[in-house]
Amino acid sequence: MKKRVTYRPSKAQGAFGVVWGGVFILIGLFVVIPVFGPFGILWTLAAVAITVMNGYQAFGKNYAGPEIHIEEDDPAQGEAPSPQSHDHISSTALSPKQRLEQLETLKGAGLLTDQEYKQKRQEIVKNL
């Protein structure tokens, strides 16, 4: 299952960006343009664009403020869930006794063959 997260910055972050954007515009006008010419113009235009975007976030009437939007893909569409999405404790975090009990439960549920059960049980006992 994939998750897509969209985050919109707060008005305070936008105001902070306006202040620093203004600093970079001034640096562009008084330092970068005179020294580097065309690169300085590009620098200053980028600083202006970033400052305008931050200004909209800070002071725009249609800007709604912080928002986190999470979209989840439907796992029923043939995609197997990732191993990180399971809500269980990793068997390596369990004590040997708990691992053996977990192994017994898996065998009892028919999820392990006798051979797999014996092999895994030997591994757990060997690491005692």
Instruction: Report pLDDT digits (tens) over 47-77.
Output: 999 999 888 888 887 766 666 667 766 655 5
Lowest mean pLDDT among 19-28, 40-49, 84-93: 84-93
Residue range(s) defining the domain that contains residue 100: 89-126
Statement to judge: residues 18 and 50 lie in one domain = yes
Query: Do 9 and 67 belong to one domain?
Result: yes
Q: Mean pLDDT across the chain, nearest whole number?
A: 80
Residue carrying structure tokens 């203004």: 22
70 or 45, which is more confident?
45
Residue 78 lies in a domain: no
In a domain, 77, yes or no: no
User: Hey, is 6 helix, strand or coil?
Assistant: strand
Distance of alpha carbon 60 from alpha carbon 115, whole angstroms: 66
38 and 99 share one domain: no
Summarised one tens digit per residue, pLDDT across range 97-118 is 888 888 888 888 888 888 988 9
* 83 in any annotated domain: no
Instruction: Judge contact between 66 and 14, C-beta under 8 A.
Output: no
Considering only residues 66 and 80, tell me which one the structure prediction assigns the higher pLDDT.
Answer: 66
Structure tokens at 34: 């005179």
In this predicted structure, the answer to whether residue 41 has a pLDDT above a threshold of 70 is yes
Residue 2 has pLDDT above 80, yes or no: no
Q: How far apart are CA 54 and CA 58, in angstroms?
A: 6
DSSP bridge pairs for 4:
71
Q: Do 60 and 7 fall into the same domain? A: yes
Token pair, residue 107, equals: 């065998």
Max CA-CA distance within the chain?
A: 79
Assigned domain for 93 exists: yes
Residue 127 DSSP code: T
Instruction: Return the structure tokens found at 36.
Output: 């580097």
Number of domains the chain contains: 2
Same domain flag for 48 and 9: yes
- For 3, residues 6+ apart whose C-beta sits below 8 A from its C-beta are 70, 71, 72, 73
123 band by pLDDT with thresholds 50, 70 and 90: confident
